[in-house]
Amino acid sequence: MVVGDFPIETDTLVIGAGPGGYVAAIRAAQLGQKVTIVEKGSLGGVCLNVGCIPSKALISAGHRYVEAKESEDIGIKAENVTLDFSKVQAWKESVVKKLTGGVEGLLKGNKVEIVKGEAYFVDRNTVRIINENSAQTYKFKNAIIATGSRPIEIPSIKFSERVIDSTGALSLQEVPKKMVIIGGGVIGIELGTAYANFGTEIVIIEGDKEILPGFEKQMTALVKRALKKKGNVEIHTSALAKGVEETKDGVKVTFEAKGKEQVVEADYCLVTVGRKPNTDELGLEQVGVEIDEKGYIKIDKQCRTNISNIYAIGDIVPGPSLAHKASYEGKIAAEAISGKPSEIDYNGIPVIVFSEPELASVGYTEQQAKDEGIDIVAAKFPFAANGRALSLNATDGFVKLITRKEDGLVIGAQIAGVSASDMIAELGLAIEAGMTAEDIALTIHGHPTLGEIAMEAAELALGTPIHIINK
């Protein structure tokens, strides 16, 4: 410790101010704790700054652009639709700025001390927070680690000016003529869709048999069909990226598919093959926090590590990299520190893709339930039989409700279709509240709304559908 560096004491120290960290800090403060949050970058973390929010802003802008150009089938024709991409980017940044400013206001409003810098553990009750101007020691009773994740770099395909990660793709100042995307998972499909809508020719290289591995094939097939229908998207599955050569003004990407080696030239190569936890520069070895072989921190049902006063949440613990998972875990950890019996239950956490159409899943899938030997009813109701979907000219998709056969308990749901990201909340609530198909069917849904599709699926599960023939 340097001379004059007197330790500052706090009850709970939160490391990282992303959607996990800032939520944990606010909840801990609400429960009476003196809280300090430390962040080396911008408040809001990856999600608000270079992830969830800016990507959805670009996706939204892309939809507006396509709708302006392609609404002739409903009697609307626009002449000379133009795209000012610099203005799109400026609007996207304004959305980000509003939200990050809001986070700062919420933290200050809850009397959370905000410290800029990087935290390094000294022992189980002490960290050093270092920034370009100073170094300060903090003593804490409990700590919550919420340092998030970063894109995985393929050893043979290094990031560069033309080989970019998701952050680079979100900050491009021009619409590329052509882009190769290595990885057809959530991030690759979302950003690929956005740029395809802006006019970029997209080539997707996915190692799995299907894009969006983890989702049911009947869901991903809709996305695949919609992408191919655009006319400027090429998809290669069961394909292996072998290397990228950077040229003067672009890239040459070599990959193998169906036993044949191919080379594609493009302006950029976007690599989206997953993310890795930021656990390697915290000094966790000083404290003895257990980490698995992939760098994830092991936790119990209250997000507690093997060191009883140190907790971990978000992308640095096992499970999907989801902002809402991190926020949920942040609340659990803060409440556990306050002595509450809060515990993790991941069954009600939805997984969402902002593709075309949108995909959302919560609880058990049909296959997962069968694999566990649960006797189920899988009731699938199409968007095409819903008045609101027809009036939106968005009839691709379905709601599938997974219920336990013996008592009708809702244990899972999958939605493919417009606004699936919003609709899944009702079915997540049904799982969380222990509701049955009958409970959903008896809930009066407004007409005409997309929400009615959940009600119709519930009636189908009961064997008494109105707007579809029961087979």
- Closest C-alpha among 100, 95, 115, 130 to residue 2: 130
Measured CA distances, 424 to 67, 351, 412, 428 (Å):
25, 9, 10, 6
Which member of 63, 236, 447, 467 is catalytic? 447
Measured CA distances, 79 to 76, 83, 85, 204, 307 (Å):
10, 13, 18, 31, 64
DSSP 33-68: --EEEEESS-TTHHHHHHSHHHHHHHHHHHHHHHHH
DSSP 78-107: -SS----HHHHHHHHHHHHHHHHHHHHHHH
At 327, which helix (H) or strand (E)? helix 323-337
CA 378/CA 304 separation, integer angstroms: 37
Helix, strand or coil for residue 306?
Answer: coil
CA 232/CA 221 separation, integer angstroms: 17
CA 340/CA 361 separation, integer angstroms: 29
Amino acid occupying residue 279: T
CA 443/CA 445 separation, integer angstroms: 6
- Closest C-alpha among 331, 44, 274, 18 to residue 148: 18
Q: What is the number of residues in the chain?
A: 471
Amino acid occupying residue 273: V
To the query of whether residue 447 is one of the catalytic residues in this protein, the response is: yes
Return all residues near 17 (Cβ < 8 A) that are at least 6 apart. 25, 37, 38, 39, 43, 44, 45, 103, 107, 114, 146
CA 382/CA 460 separation, integer angstroms: 11
Positions annotated as catalytic residues are 447
